[in-house]
Amino acid sequence: MEKLILFIVITYLFYCIVPTFYHKWLPTKAIKYLANKNDIALTFDDGIDSIYTNQLLDLLYQYHIKATFFIVAKTIDENGEIIKRMIKEGHTVGLHSLEHKNALFHGYFYTKKDFEMSMSIMKKHGLHIRYFRPPWGHVNLFTLKYIKKYNLDFILWNVMVGDWKKSSTTKDITERLIKKARKGSIICLHDGRGRDKAPKRTIEALESAIPCLQSRGFNFVTLEEING
Ligand SMILES: [Zn+2]
């Protein structure tokens, strides 16, 4: 019995825990590329949100900033106009899974469905997806198989400010953004989900943080611009 438990634990470790932490510790290609530039990439996960994503796009437009949106594929059908606006305004669209499920708790069949349905939805909306960020940054061995199959770039982040938390005030998010942003930052923020209308506070924080970061000479780039 003990041997069986040990076997299950070791299998689980190599199925998802080791691959997840390997990718979290290893700087991705985009992070390496940005390391010596005065560039910052704003990235937004968990949208599309029918209210907040549009408000965020208004703000980015106001400051002539382009960003990268990692989108939950199931939200696209109801928000086709927002996707069209993102593309028209020069933002990069990446994939953030089909319905925001955690890869640590899923096997082959769900992971297959997750990618196949997501890519099919993206294709239906005329989107050619190159970038993938898994929910919570978690992967399993099958996630890696499908990233390779669809020729996606695995993109994580190196700055996170806890903007999804109920306890994070607009002031907290603003201060963390200003303090943590440096050359080569890939900043992970959220325009959907989150506690207690969290994206509203994220947008309010960016209203103060963007001009401050611009005055420090940072350029804002998309993943597409990083990769040429
Ligand atoms: Zn997410």
How does DSSP assign 127-164, residue by residue? ----EE--GGG---HHHHHHHHHTTPEE---SEE--TT
Q: Which structure tokens are listed for 29? A: 């290609």
CA 225, chain centre distance (Å)? 16
- What spacing in Å lies between the alpha carbon of 6 and ligand 1's midpoint? 31
Report how far ligand 1's centroid is from the alpha carbon of 136 (Å): 6
At residue 24 the predicted structure's pLDDT band, cuts being 50, 70 and 90, is confident
Mean pLDDT of the chain: 93
Instruction: Give the global pTM.
Output: 0.93
User: Ligand 1 center to residue 44 CA distance, Å?
Assistant: 9
Q: Which residue has the higher pLDDT, 29 or 88?
A: 88
Domains and CATH numbers, the chain: 2-227 (3.20.20.370)
pLDDT band per the 50, 70, 90 thresholds, residue 30:
low
| Ligand 1 mean position, distance from CA 71 (Å) | 9
3-state secondary structure of 169: coil
Model confidence at 171, pLDDT cuts 50, 70, 90, reads very high
Q: Measured between alpha carbons, how far is residue 93 from residues 41, 46, 68, 73, 129 in Å?
A: 13, 12, 6, 11, 7
Q: For residue 151, is pLDDT > 80?
A: yes
* The predicted structure's pLDDT at residue 150: 97
- 216-226 pLDDT per residue, tens: 999 999 988 88
Task: Quote the Cα angle for 148-151-152, to 5°.
Answer: 95
- Please check the confidence at residue 178 and state whether its pLDDT lies above 90: yes
